[in-house]
């Protein structure tokens, strides 16, 4: 089903379709494991150097803020994340590499941002942080950094399989006025140029990340929304289960690739 298009300018997919003359009938084939590449591989040497140097990587500002929030006491019981989890370098090591994960109380998968908010509500008895708020991105970046350099290890819980399948279906579903799917760009045309940028594969190895186009930190859900607007489809609201399912599918495809949080992208 094609979702109703918003009033938005023609985005990247439109340029791809019209400027490059891409056929919409190409078979959708994900790159084999031997050809998988992080978005890092498609960047300029200058952008790669920015990501690799913690003193130059803008995302580290959010990591530093997240470290402060980790020890900040909130709620009626005056508790911090550290009060339960201790040293994040130990307790959070590898955590970001295995999310989204099945959450028993919710009977569904949750992503890392959702898990942070569930902890805030249940353990700290305080309000959830809004999606894309600086505070939530900072905590997610700080926790994500504890897994930097570790291989992505998607959860193998059998209860996740229906949600993973839904994520795959969404990835392959054509949407919007341009009738494009995620796979049309990121499987069929990765490595080709879209204006001055190279189309990457769809591997979520570095989120939340600092995007030069945004001049800001952003979550994977923000990137999903950008892509949907680009094909002139109505994006789901932040926190929608469709985004969690899609991330679950993409993390499965990125199994074994290394976490880069906080990454830098064009």
Can you read off the two tokens belonging to residue 85?
């989890």
Among the residues of 86-233, which ranges form H helices? 88-91, 112-122, 134-145, 161-172, 182-186, 220-230
In a domain, 24, yes or no: yes
d(CA 231, CA 228): 5
Considering the domain architecture, whether residues 170 and 136 belong to the same structural domain is answered as no
Boundary (domain end) residue, out of 99, 122, 145: 145
Instruction: Write down the catalytic residue from 81, 182, 185, 227.
Output: 227
pTM of the model: 0.88
Residue 188 CA: distances (Å) to CA of 16, 25, 226: 12, 10, 19
Question: Is 81 a catalytic site residue?
Answer: no
Burial class (CB in 10 A: 0-12, 13-18, 19+), 181: buried
**Domain co-membership, 42 together with 129:** no
CA 132/CA 148 separation, integer angstroms: 21
What would the pLDDT profile of 121-144 be if each residue is shown by its tens digit? 999 999 999 999 999 999 999 999
How confident is the model over 188-214, as a mean pLDDT?
Answer: 92
Q: Where are the alpha helices (DSSP H) in 53-100?
A: 59-70, 81-85, 88-91
Confidence of residue 29 (pLDDT cuts 50, 70, 90): low
- pLDDT tens digits, one per residue of 170-193: 999 999 999 999 999 999 999 998
Q: Do 33 and 106 belong together in one domain?
A: no
Share of the chain above pLDDT 90, in %: 83
Give the CATH number for residue 84: 1.10.760.10
Which residues partner with 193 through β-bridges?
198
Indicate if the pLDDT at residue 94 is higher than 70: yes
Chain-wide mean pLDDT for the chain? 90
Residues 123 and 160 in one domain: no
């Amino acid at each position: 089903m094609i979702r109703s298009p918003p009033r938005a300018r023609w985005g990247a997919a439109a340029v791809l379709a019209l400027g490059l003359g891409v056929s919409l009938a190409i078979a959708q084939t994900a790159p084999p494991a031997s050809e998988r590449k992080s978005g890092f591989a498609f960047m300029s040497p200058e952008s790669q150097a920015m990501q690799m140097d913690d003193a130059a990587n803008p995302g580290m500002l959010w990591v530093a803020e997240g470290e402060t929030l980790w020890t900040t006491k909130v709620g009626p019981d005056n508790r911090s994340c550290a009060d339960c989890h201790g040293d994040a370098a130990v307790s959070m090591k590898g955590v970001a590499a295995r999310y989204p994960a099945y959450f028993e109380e919710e009977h569904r998968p949750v992503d890392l941002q959702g898990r942070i908010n569930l902890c805030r509500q249940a353990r700290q008895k305080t309000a959830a942080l809004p999606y894309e708020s600086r505070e939530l991105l900072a905590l997610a970046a700080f926790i994500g950094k504890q897994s930097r350099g570790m291989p992505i290890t998607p959860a193998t819980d059998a209860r996740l399989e229906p949600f993973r399948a839904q994520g795959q279906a969404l990835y392959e579903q054509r949407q919007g006025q341009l009738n494009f799917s995620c796979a049309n760009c990121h499987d069929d045309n990765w490595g080709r140029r879209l204006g001055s940028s190279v189309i990457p594969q769809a591997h979520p190895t570095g989120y939340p990340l600092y995007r030069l186009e945004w001049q800001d930190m952003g979550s994977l859900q923000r990137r999903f929304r950008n892509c949907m607007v680009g094909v002139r489809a109505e994006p789901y609201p932040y926190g929608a289960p469709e985004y969690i399912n899609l991330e679950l599918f993409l993390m499965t495809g990125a199994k074994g690739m290394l976490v880069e949080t906080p990454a830098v992208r064009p």
